[in-house]
Amino acid sequence: MSIAVLGAGAFGTALAVSLARKGPVTLWARGAEQVHEMAESRENARRLPGVKLPETLTVTSDIETALSAETLLLAMPMQQMAGFLQAHAEALAGKTLVSCAKGIDLATGQGPTGLIRAHVAGARAAVLTGPSFAADIARGLPTALTLACTDHSEELQAELSTPTLRLYRTTDTTGAELGGALKNVYAIAAGTVIGAGLGESARAALMTRSFAEMQRIALALGARPETLSGLSGFGDLVLTCTSAQSRNFRLGRAIGSGEGFDPSITVEGVATAKALDRLARERGIETPIAAMVRALTEEKIGVSEAMQSLLARPLKEE
């Protein structure tokens, strides 16, 4: 099968590089200037510097060329996905569409597979998610991810696996996409804890209670508990809550320390916190940490107030 990666950010480029080590892959970027730079230098210096693009990787800004592939990896920000799917619905019809985005659509409250099914006729919707940083994948460091698809996905699993990128499959698309989306919210909280100097014990407690919230939300929305305990849930939570490579963690650390943060950097957890808090209120699901993250990112409360609010909650059984 032919493969194209749509989106030449760090993660999309890393996936394209990894897959191109097996065979031909197309990487699509919006800007012709960026494509020209990458084609000339054989490097995505803007997003993934220091990583050479294999000769088997073709870079293009021609969307029609990219959409001719049979399997398309959608490596774009979650809040841009619905518009992209609507704009190219006819060309995408009947294709295998693998979302690499982690988030919840603000306008509809849907995850990526819901958007794919809503906008593209006959598409096979899948999710690729889990604990991974672009630089690790691109450098060929061992990485394991979850591939979620409701149908029999052994063929797709083999197609997208590489010697250093190991995929585990599941049919629980709801659990996989929720795990990948929700952990971003809690990574902001973990970063805030560290930025505010509250200590490692506080971070451990925060991560544990965050995982309880993730499970509570996901199960209420129809996910399977074992999915949240796997790579796309617990695994991704651990990675993003403990590493400064995570943009969500870095934003939280900036909030906690009172430092500025580059507004041009996409931080999916901000929009997800808003969507999640709204969804939880509608469903009557208790999510105090997510609510505090939304309030912090919207500058409605300060770090000290958020901490006191969480610590003052009634004592309960674990």
Q: Which domains does the chain have, with CATH numbers?
A: 3-171 (3.40.50.720), 175-311 (1.10.1040.10)
Adjacent-strand bridge partners of 207: none
Does 152 score more than 80 pLDDT? no
**Residue 302, annotated as binding a ligand:** no
Confidence of residue 121 (pLDDT cuts 50, 70, 90): very high
Q: Is 299 annotated as a binding residue?
A: no
247 assigned to a ligand binding site? yes
> According to the annotation, is 12 in a ligand binding site?
yes
Based on the residue annotation, tell me whether 183 is a catalytic residue of this protein: yes
Q: Is the pLDDT of residue 1 over 90?
A: no
pLDDT at 117 over 90: yes
Three-state SS at 304: helix
Q: What is the DSSP letter of 258?
A: T
Model confidence, pTM: 0.95
State pLDDT tens for residues 15-41.
Answer: 999 999 999 999 999 999 999 999 999
Strand partners, 74: 6, 99
Long-range contacts of 285-292, Cβ-Cβ distance < 8 Å, separation of 24 or more:
285/216, 285/217, 285/220, 286/213, 286/216, 287/213, 287/216, 287/217, 288/213, 288/313, 289/185, 289/186, 289/189, 289/206, 289/209, 289/210, 289/213, 290/182, 290/185, 290/186, 290/213, 292/189
How many angstroms separate the CA atoms of 156 and 228, rounded?
22
Would the pLDDT of 2 be above 90? Answer: yes
pLDDT band at 153 (very low <50, low <70, confident <90, very high): confident
With tokens 């929700």, the residue in question is: 182
**Residue 82: band (very low, low, confident or very high) from pLDDT cuts 50, 70, 90:** very high
- Active-site annotation holder among 52, 183, 274, 316: 183
Residue 130 assigned to a binding site: yes
Backbone angles phi, psi at 315, to 5 degrees: -70, 145
